[in-house]
Structure 1
Amino acid sequence: MQVKARYDARVLLAEQMTRAQGLKLKRLSDEAYQPAQFARDLSFTEAARRIQVLEAEIELANSF
């Protein structure tokens, strides 16, 4: 039996970040020497945005 899930964007904006996001954000913020980017109480959307920004910064730094 398959369960089809529907996700409401408003719910994702309000939900707390997932454990996987938290771990990834912590690792990236340490790697980028920006520990202030990590916070335990971020929303799912804010965590995703910070992860994306940190990944881009690290990629840029590694390109030199």
Structure 2
Amino acid sequence: MQLQGKYDAKVLLAEQMTRAQGLKLKRLSEEAYQPAQYARDLSFTEAAQRIQALEAEIELANSF
């Protein structure tokens, strides 16, 4: 039973946004003037999606 609890904790940690993602997301959200896009409690997947969207938005803005 304890192993299951430890496994659940590892899965939860794996799902959390990484430090690198957090730093990148914070920088991109500030660059795009969208500070609300950054949140400390995002999952790995949510952070990756927001980073991708912000990068696309910044690239589009820079193309003008």
The TM-score with structure 2 as length reference comes to 0.79
RMSD: 1.5
Secondary structure in 1 matching 2:61: helix
Q: Match for residue 41 of structure 1?
A: 41
The TM-score with structure 1 as length reference comes to 0.79
Distance in 2 of aligned mates of 1:52 and 1:15: 17
Q: Which has the higher helix share?
A: 2
Runs of 4+ in 1 over 3 A off after TM superposition: none
Q: For this pair of structures, how many residues does the alignment match?
A: 53
Aligned identity (percent) is 92
Any unmatched runs of 5+ in structure 2? 1-10
- Cα displacement (A) at 1:54: 0.0
Task: Flag the structure with larger Rg.
Answer: 2
Any unmatched runs of 5+ in structure 1? 1-10
